[in-house]
Structure 1
Amino acid sequence: MVVYLDNAATSYPKPKQVLDAVYDFMLNNGATAGRGAYERAMEADGLVYDTRKAIANFFNFYNPKEEVKMNFIKPCTTDAGKMQFKAKFSRDVSEIFPYINAILNNATYNKNAGSLTFKKEFRIITLFPEKLAVAKIINESEAYEIMDLVKTLVNDTYEKKDEIDPLHEMREQPKIIDVYKNLPKLNCKKCGEGTCMAFASKLLQGQ
């Protein structure tokens, strides 16, 4: 059986629900998803993301346990052309950090700071008990992809944690000077800190 799902795009007349939804969007938003970091563009990104998730749920593509919701996004102050964002977990996920630390070779688990950091290519992803901080993403759409990646990582690790030996030890972390070497070294204060060295220190602390 063939199921035609393109009714809203090409059919005539449009269902009233489609007309109402389009009118509401044009009246109250009107932004283009994935083309900016201002509030209405982020709302449009969220609508696209929620729609994709609703379709995935309808067809039972996945059954998410942990939810991640973005609450902050802006351009990176240390890397022109890239962005950073923060998101909130729906619950405290810190108990799973030692298990993720065990399965990700590039993870850095800091038990005292309550954080776990790893990289996906050049992107820096840091998990805290109830929040997520990510730097050096390309655009907002990528932010949602990273949130899905982290959500899947957390949920899959929860499901398999009985098969994993947790690793509580901290792998060798980069030193402040190592981070500093990758910064502009201009002390421009755009990050809110007085010097690049101070920013490097706080970055390693997850602040």
Structure 2
Amino acid sequence: MALNYEITGMAPCLADGARVRVTAMWNQDIGELLPYVNAVVKYASFDPGGVVITFKYRGCPVILERRRVTLGQLADLDEAEDIMDDLVDFLRRVQDKKAEITPLNQPKPQPQVHEIIRMLPRNNCGQCGEPTCTAFALKLVLERQKAENCLPLTGDEICTVLKVLESLDNRQLKIE
């Protein structure tokens, strides 16, 4: 796969005007790879009708389409090029491992934050660094927080939370 890209646009990020959003065009149609990407990316929103998948890559929102990709929340063009180069490598690895991956041609269930919220103290104490238990639960699901940062939880409760987190998506594959 001789996949390359050309950056075609840069604009203020819609979510954070202090950062930028970059659009690039692929040199070839990657639509047939998107169900494989959907199978290996842990949390993604996949639209098989429009053949588009949205996910986070290196902390950056990515909208991956057949001929185009959009990256958001970037510091600058240099960061965009760095992430794009990594994304191209990732897509090449997916291509190389296609025989080992079962493509997923439908949206996958999204993590259920409410399952985690029920396990937390729900007193919004802020000891974890988050303003609310709901914010903490969301960051746990997105792997931006650690269960042990909820100081009111006991060791057994932390283990229970970790088991639920593991059960949310056990299809994660590493593409190396």
- TM-score, length-normalised on structure 2? 0.58
Task: State how far apart, in whole Å, the 2-side matches of 1:117 and 1:173 are.
Answer: 12
Q: Structure 1 residue 139 and structure 2 residue 76: aligned?
A: yes
Task: State how far apart, in whole Å, the 1-side matches of 2:11 and 2:20 are.
Answer: 6
* Structure whose alpha-carbon radius of gyration is higher: 1
Q: Which has the higher contact order (CA 8 A, sep 6+)?
A: 2
Task: State how far apart, in whole Å, the 2-side matches of 1:107 and 1:77 are.
Answer: 19
The question of whether the paired residues in 2 share the 8 Å contact of 1:123 and 1:135 is answered with yes
Q: Structure 1 residue 78 and structure 2 residue 15: aligned?
A: yes
Task: State how far apart, in whole Å, the 2-side matches of 1:147 and 1:121 are.
Answer: 10
Indicate the residue corresponding to 1:159 in structure 2: 96
Unaligned ranges ≥5, structure 2: 112-176
Q: Which amino acid aligns with 2:105?
A: H
Superposed counterparts of 1:9-28, under 5 Å: none
The question of whether the paired residues in 1 share the 8 Å contact of 2:63 and 2:70 is answered with yes
Higher helix share: 1
The question of whether the paired residues in 2 share the 8 Å contact of 1:123 and 1:134 is answered with yes
Superposed CA RMSD in Å reads: 1.8
Task: State how far apart, in whole Å, the 1-side matches of 2:86 and 2:45 are.
Answer: 18
How many residues are paired up? Answer: 111
Task: State how far apart, in whole Å, the 2-side matches of 1:163 and 1:77 are.
Answer: 37
The question of whether the paired residues in 1 share the 8 Å contact of 2:58 and 2:83 is answered with no
Higher strand share: 2
- TM-score, length-normalised on structure 1? 0.50
User: C-alpha displacement at 1:114, in angstroms?
Assistant: 1.3
Percent identity, please: 25
User: C-alpha displacement at 1:107, in angstroms?
Assistant: 2.0
Q: Once superposed, which parts of structure 1, at least 4 consecutive aligned residues long, lie more than 3 Å away?
A: none
User: C-alpha displacement at 1:139, in angstroms?
Assistant: 1.1
The question of whether the paired residues in 1 share the 8 Å contact of 2:22 and 2:70 is answered with yes
Superposed counterparts of 1:52-91, under 5 Å: 65-91=2-28
Unaligned ranges ≥5, structure 1: 1-63, 175-207
Q: Structure 1 residue 108 and structure 2 residue 42: aligned?
A: no
Q: Deviations over 1:134-162 (max 9, x none)?
A: 11111111100111122112111111101
The question of whether the paired residues in 1 share the 8 Å contact of 2:19 and 2:76 is answered with yes
Task: State how far apart, in whole Å, the 2-side matches of 1:163 and 1:122 are.
Answer: 26
Q: Which amino acid aligns with 1:66?
A: L
